[in-house]
Every structure is written in C-alpha cells, then in structure tokens.
Amino acid sequence: MPLTPLIDFVFPPRCPLCGEGLSAQTGLCAACWSDLAIPGEPACALCQRPFAEAVAPGAVCAPCMAAPPRHDGIAAGTLYNAASRKLVLALKHGRRLALAPMMARLIAAKLPFVDADWLVVPVPLHRWRLWHRGYNQAALLAQEIARLRGAELVVDALQRRKRTPSLGGLGRKARARALSGAIGGNPCRADRLQGASVVLVDDVLTSGATSAACVSALKRAGARRVVIACFARVLDEALPLA
C-alpha cells in the first residue's frame, strides 16, 4: 500500500509482545513466535484436545466420553499461555485492534475445511458492554476469518439478551445460572441459520460455558453443524512442562 512506508517511518514496526524491531507491521518477532504454544496432533476426534502420546485414529478424550459435546469440533490457534494471554489482553482491553488479522490467521490455519458454504458468527457482547468497549474483539476476529476462508460473516446471528457477570471463579452450576437465557438466536437471521454450517468465533475458550450457550442457541435456531474457533484455548494439561 502507498502509505505503508510513511506509516513505518512514523511508527517503526515493533513486536507487540517484547518491543523488538520488525521488518513489517504484521506479526511477532521470531523469539515471541516460539513462545506461542500451537496445538497439534494427535488430538481428540470430538474436541481436538491434544493427546500426550500416540493414539488410535478416532480416539476420544475422557471429558468427551463422560459428557459428549453438542459442538462439532474446536479449532484453537494457540493454547493459552503467557504469550497468548498478552495478545488477548492487548486486543481485548488495550485497543490493539491491529493484532486481529495476525491472530485470525492462526485460527484460520486450523479451519482448512471452511469455505464459502460456511457462516462465521462471533460470540456476542451485551449492548452496554459493546458501548463501553467500543468494539467486540470476537467480531474483529470473525471478520478476518471470514475474509481468509471466503466464508460469509453474520455478525448479528446471536444476541446477548442480558448482561452477565464475569464467569471467572464460578463453578459449573453458577456459570449455567448466569448464562441461562442470556444468549439467543437473532430472529432476523433465522432463515440464514436454518441448516447452516457455522464457525463460532471467540478470543479465548476457558470453561466452555459461554460457547456452549452459543452452540445451543445456534442449534435451536436450526444450525446443522457448529465448530468453535478461538485464538487461545485454556488447556494447562496440554502445555509443555516448564
């Protein structure tokens, strides 16, 4: 782009994690790239939870055996660690919106099957939280993923009907109570969701309570298949030992 040299002159490209100089405003330095934990194979056939050792094709992890999920897979760009946490916080609370394309590329790499027949839907924010923050970080990621995969973005397919407290520190039952009736399908998008294959996008997947509420709402609205996509997935047991 014509303005790129001028922008780079005024704001020299730097790594958003460590501040090291970069050749372009597009990512991280080599050292910080290596700090990200990228989930790989072998993994659970239902939720893509990485296994620590080789398993037979189609193997299912213990959590999915105990409670089969309603979703149709999870695609995580990274595992949640110190490096991915910094990026999430910079995008979510630090207003570093320019990080969204790079973070979305890592997610999109885990979605090779998504094409023009898919819908990309962000986890919604309540209107008051959206007004306060000014943007929905999940929607920024969803916009980039839809562009990268050639899919259709439906930013308002889901609605957050009531404000919910932070779910951090709450048990499973308390999370369920907080989210009860909070998320639903948008009646104006009912025809588009009927029979659709959907990528549900969020920045972080922690307990899965919010994404589960979204998956349920999408399937009640008629979606045939829902894959959860996130930048960082909290799976401490899958991280390498320090």
Confidence of residue 241 (pLDDT cuts 50, 70, 90): low
Q: Domain tally for the chain? A: 2
pTM: 0.88
Confidence of residue 208 (pLDDT cuts 50, 70, 90): confident
Q: Are residues 226 and 129 in the same domain?
A: yes
Range from 136-145, 165-174, 177-186 carrying the lowest mean pLDDT: 165-174
**Bridge partner residues of 232 (DSSP):** 78, 204
Q: Are residues 17 and 99 in the same domain?
A: no
Q: Are residues 2 and 100 in the same domain?
A: no
Q: Would you state the torsion angle of the CA atoms of residues 135, 118, 75, 121, taken in this order, to the nearest 10 degrees?
A: 20
Domain CATH number, residue 153: 3.40.50.2020
Helix (H) or strand (E) holding 22: none
Q: Which one, of 64, 57, 137, lies nearest residue 104 by Cα?
A: 137
User: Per-residue pLDDT averaged across 33-60, rounded?
Assistant: 88
User: Per-residue pLDDT averaged across 45-55, rounded?
Assistant: 86
Decide which of 165 and 53 is more confident.
Answer: 53
> How much is the pLDDT for 96?
87
Measure Cα distances from 90 to 16, 96, 137 in Å: 8, 5, 10
Q: State which residues form the domain around 159.
A: 36-238
Residue 229 · residue 107 · CB < 8 Å: yes
Q: Are residues 61 and 110 in the same domain?
A: yes
pLDDT over threshold 60, residue 242: no
Answer positive or negative: Cα dihedral of 32, 34, 37, 40.
positive
pLDDT over threshold 80, residue 1: no
Decide which of 103 and 28 is more confident.
Answer: 103
Helix (H) or strand (E) holding 140: helix 137-149
3-state SS of 65-95?
HHCCCCCCCEEEEEECCHHHHHHHHHHHCCC
Q: Which one, of 218, 186, 182, 181, lies nearest residue 201 by Cα?
A: 218
pLDDT in tens, 11-35: 567 888 888 877 666 678 888 889 9
Residue 169 · residue 176 · CB < 8 Å: no
